[in-house]
Amino acid sequence: MPQGLKRIYGQSHLHFITFSCYRRMALLGSPDSRDVFAKLLDQVRGRFGFALVGYVVMPEHVHLLAGEPAAHSPSVALQMLKQETSRRMRMRDEVAESLPQFWERRFYDFNVWSQRKKLEKLDYMHMNPVKRGLVSDPQEWPWSSFLFYTRGEHGRIRIDLV
């Protein structure tokens, strides 16, 4: 692990996780690619059994607010998600196929231990498409958990209350 990067697991915390496409390229720039990612996230969540409390899929990065898997670390689950997505997207996209990798190797992980921090991270995620100018209102971006928290609608991925 790179110097100064410390991951804290086993504390029953939620984790605010951020990871980016290779060189921050918009490899998730199309609605179809974001749908593929959302489907794979839901499958990997089911396989590893972690709670998904919030998410947003952006064109060049992803934010997750998730619990820890029962039998593995979040790092292992994330590795599987990134591998599955890379494999699937490389078969579908010529640009992705030509790159040396689909994702940046590292990811950012912040332990969320309080309700205040949880709400702060959810708000940050849900406002990300608005701040980036992709939509004027977070309810217009279907690749996030926003509608669950405002209308109780699960959208593309089921959200867990934790």
What are 114-154's pLDDT values in tens digits?
999 999 999 999 999 999 999 999 999 999 999 999 999 98
pLDDT at 74: 83
Instruction: Spell out a b/e string for 22-31, using b for 16 or more CB atoms within 10 Å of the CB, else e.
Output: beebebbeee
Predicted TM-score (pTM) of this structure? 0.90
Q: Indicate the pLDDT class of residue 4, thresholds 50, 70 and 90.
A: low
- CB 29 within 8 Å of CB 21: no
| Distance of alpha carbon 50 from alpha carbon 71, whole angstroms | 9
Mean of the pLDDT values across residues 47-74? 93
Count CB atoms within 10 A of the CB of residue 10: 7
> How does pLDDT run across 5-28, given as a tens digit for each residue?
565 554 566 999 999 999 999 999
